[in-house]
Amino acid sequence: MVSFTALYSCPLSLNKTPKPLQQSGGFSTLNQKKEINMFHDIESFIQALIKQGPTGTITLTDTMLNKSIIDANKTVIALAASIGVDFNALQAGEKITIAGRYDCDGQSCSVSFYRTKARGDKRFSISGLKKRAGVGDAIAITHDSNGALVINATRKLGGRAISP
């Protein structure tokens, strides 16, 4: 079983100094530096998860949240394969759903891997995602002996979604 406790205590390295930043670093404001540092921390957190085992990662867009259309990228396809879901073996319109939970509140959810009916595109969905995430949030999906574990890395590390 994968232990995520150590990963959650990941410290933030935000520059909290209220003084203006120098132009030399390419940052014109303190907020830009915070956003870039937060992105680095989120990436480090996700990389730590990946080292623990297969982890699917996505950055949410408006379409993903509001239309529940999420294309399965390479990381999600690899995660699915690690738990026995072979997208290549799924027929168009076929779906496999596994039990899961959100790390933030332990609430149960369903993670579905499927092929679209018309073109057979590889997609997945997570029930209740819109209530726990926003546009721009980095989401990590992993699994342990209790099923899928859905982690909003952006909010886990105290960040806010940044709209494109």
Condensed to tens digits (0 to 9), the pLDDT of residues 22-54 reads: 333 333 334 433 443 444 588 888 888 888 889
pTM of the model: 0.72
Angle at 160 between CA 72 and CA 29, to 5 degrees: 120
Is 36 in contact with 27 (CB distance < 8 Å)?
yes
At residue 65, φ and ψ (nearest 5 deg) are -80, -45
For the sheet with 138-144, list strands across it.
Answer: 56-59, 138-144, 147-152, 95-102, 108-115, 122-126, 70-71
Number of H helices, E strands in the chain: 6, 7
- The pLDDT, as a whole number, for residue 152 is 93
Q: What is the mean pLDDT of residues 63-84?
A: 94
- The pLDDT, as a whole number, for residue 160 is 57
**Could you tell me the domains of the chain?**
5-156 (2.40.330.10)
Is 60 in contact with 66 (CB distance < 8 Å)?
no
Condensed to tens digits (0 to 9), the pLDDT of residues 133-149 reads: 999 999 999 998 889 99
